């Protein structure tokens, strides 16, 4: 994503919790900040993409002392709506701005500059960020106020989890029935069963390639925020809870860094009575 910004001619300063990850961008012309405070001091907008609630809060609080009036943080991480609203309030108290802007499209979407971005916050902040995000997004929309970008992302993850389960359950059933898996995947993906999961995870299942992609541990992290939000909304998400429980088996077996498509293996190894 940062590389796309450079390719589009934007002046870019970068900072990473793992400093050596900045090296390829520095080689392409990016400046490298030595701290979050320095990064905030040198930039009008900071685009943040880390992992969990605590990572976002740590980074935002680290940026704030260097922030100028009107400073904007655009957070591309997937975290809880509650945390997003808290960070919006924290920066507002210090004359700065926050846009929760989680992304979907996976690593390939990032590489191709074809991400979809769900934004929550103020219209003026979205209007400032949108022309910059065009460098790596095929679509970015403001979906509501603070926290609602994250809420939309969690709705996305509910749908992603259901599609993942459908793919893995279908192919595990086909394997046990003695069907040709390559033919099954090809035929089903061209009909009503077709989905992004069939197109993108299907080949990994056929190859039994469990390299991420999107890892089990990251998917379960997102599901934890989804289940938390569902409890607060009193919204039934039984499918999400089931997929989370199935993926927990992979974590228990030491495979938290595998792709979520490895759920197929869990189902192949399970019997009918395991989940009925």
End-to-end CA distance of the chain: 43
| Residue-averaged pLDDT of the chain | 96
In terms of residue numbers, what domain contains 94?
2-144
Q: Which is the catalytic residue, given 153, 175, 176, 204? A: 153
| Mean per-residue pLDDT, 159-178 | 97
Q: Are residues 73 and 177 in the same domain?
A: no
- What is the per-residue pLDDT for 108? 84
Q: What is the mean pLDDT of residues 178-202?
A: 94
Concerning whether 221 is annotated as a catalytic residue, the answer is no
pLDDT attached to residue 106: 84
- DSSP at 138: E
Q: For residues 259 and 225, give the distance between their C-alpha atoms in angstroms, rounded to a whole number.
A: 19
Residue 276: inside a domain, yes or no?
Answer: no
Q: What is the mean pLDDT of residues 136-159?
A: 98
Asked if residue 246 is part of any domain, the answer here is yes
Strand partners, 47: 74
Kindly list the distances between the CA atom of residue 226 and the CA atoms of 8, 33, 195, 236, 271, in Å, as whole numbers in the listed order.
35, 34, 22, 11, 28
Per-residue pLDDT tens over the stretch 32-69: 999 999 999 999 999 999 999 999 999 999 999 999 99
* Residue 226 pLDDT exceeds 80: yes
Are residues 166 and 129 located together in one domain of the fold? no
Does the pLDDT of residue 212 top 90, yes or no?
Answer: no
Average pLDDT over every residue of 103-127: 95
Query: Collapsing DSSP states into helix, strand and coil, what is residue 98?
Result: strand
CATH code of 115's domain? 3.40.50.720
121-133 pLDDT tens trace: 999 999 999 999 9
Closest listed residue to residue 18, CA positions, set 53, 63, 51, 65: 51
- pLDDT > 90 in the chain, percent: 95
Q: Are 48 and 80 members of one domain?
A: yes
Q: Domain boundary at 144, 175, 190, which?
A: 144
Domain boundary among 93, 120, 144: 144
User: How far is residue 100 from each of residues 22, 125, 166, 215, measured CA to CA in Å?
Assistant: 23, 10, 30, 22
- Has residue 210 got a pLDDT over 90? yes
Does residue 137 share a domain with residue 6? yes
Residue-level pLDDT at 273: 83
How far is CA 160 from its chain centroid?
A: 11
71 and 180 inside one domain? no
User: What's the pLDDT tens digit per position in 230-269?
Assistant: 999 999 999 999 999 999 999 999 999 999 999 999 999 9
What is the tally of structural domains in the chain? Answer: 2
Average pLDDT, integer, range 156-175: 97
Indicate whether 184 and 109 sit together in one domain. Answer: no
pLDDT-derived band at 213, boundaries 50, 70, 90: confident
Residue 276: is its pLDDT beyond 80?
no
Residue 275 located in a structural domain: no
The pLDDT confidence band at residue 179, using thresholds 50, 70 and 90, is very high
């Amino acid at each position: 994503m940062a590389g796309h910004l450079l390719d589009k001619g934007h002046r870019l300063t970068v900072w990473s919790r793992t400093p050596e990850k900045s090296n390829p961008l520095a080689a392409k012309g990016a400046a490298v900040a030595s701290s979050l405070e320095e990064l905030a001091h040198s930039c009008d907008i900071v685009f943040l993409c880390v992992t969990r609630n605590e990572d976002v809060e740590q980074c935002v609080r680290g940026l704030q002392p260097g922030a100028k009036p009107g400073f904007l943080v655009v957070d591309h991480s997937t975290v809880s709506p509650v945390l997003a609203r808290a960070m919006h309030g924290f920066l507002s108290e210090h004359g700065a701005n926050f846009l929760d802007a989680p992304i979907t499209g996976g690593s390939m979407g990032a590489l191709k500059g074809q991400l979809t971005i769900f934004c929550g916050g103020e219209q003026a902040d979205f209007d400032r960020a949108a022309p910059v995000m065009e460098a790596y997004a095929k679509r970015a929309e403001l979906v509501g106020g603070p926290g609602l970008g994250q809420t939309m992302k969690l709705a996305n993850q509910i749908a992603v989890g259901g599609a993942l389960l459908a793919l893995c359950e279908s192919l595990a059933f086909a394997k046990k029935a003695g069907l040709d898996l390559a033919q099954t995947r090809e035929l089903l993906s061209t009909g009503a069963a077709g989905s992004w999961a069939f197109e993108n995870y299907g080949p990994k299942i056929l190859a039994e390639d469990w390299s991420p992609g999107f890892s089990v541990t990251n998917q379960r992290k997102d599901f934890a925020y989804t289940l938390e939000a569902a409890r607060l909304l009193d919204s039934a998400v039984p499918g999400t809870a089931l997929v989370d429980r199935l993926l927990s088996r992979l974590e228990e077996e030491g495979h938290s860094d595998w792709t979520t498509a490895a759920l197929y293996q869990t189902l192949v190894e399970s019997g009918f009575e395991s989940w009925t």
